[in-house]
Amino acid sequence: DGGITQSPKYLFRKEGQNVTLSCEQNLNHDAMYWYRQDPGQGLRLIYYSQIVNDFQKGDIAEGYSVSREKKESFPLTVTSAQKNPTAFYLCASSMVGLADTQYFGPGTRLTVL
């Protein structure tokens, strides 16, 4: 069953803590992305990666970090430096290019208490 998975679905964090969101895909896609979505808003790009061991900052990378050690995995860490981390986080992948169709995971809702 091919697809892209994110875990956990809901995540609660205390202020000052780092937290890592998981994203895994078995579509054999080269490119992976992390987006943030705030209520009633569109998607804003946090980080993206086109190849293993390489990634680029998106529009709102401050306070976030990523790694791409395996083609299938692209975890996102929300650090304590992120001022307003409460949001819905979406991971996506595309076959090769940045202009290709993107396939999304179900999302992780992060709430900072």
Partner 1 sequence: SQQGEEDPQALSIQEGENATMNCSYKTSINNLQWYRQNSGRGLVHLILIRSNEREKHSGRLRVTLDTSKKSSSLLITASRAADTASYFCATSPSQLVSNFGNEKLTFGTGTRLTIIP
Structural tokens at position 89: 């986080």
**Nearest alpha carbon to residue 94 among 78, 108, 105, 83:** 105
- Nearest distance from residue 26's CB to partner 1, in Å? 16
The site map against partner 1 for 58-87 (x = CB under 8 A) is x-----------------------------
- For residues 71 and 47, give the distance between their C-alpha atoms in angstroms, rounded to a whole number: 15
Task: State yes or no: residue 99 binds partner 1 (CB under 8 A).
Answer: yes
Task: State yes or no: residue 110 binds partner 1 (CB under 8 A).
Answer: no
Collapse the DSSP code of 3 into the 3-class scheme (helix H, G, I; strand E, B; otherwise coil) and give the result.
coil
82 vs 94 by CB, closer to partner 1: 94
Q: Which residues would be at the binding site for partner 1 (CB under 8 A)?
A: 35, 40-43, 45, 48, 58, 88, 90, 92, 97-99, 101-107, 109
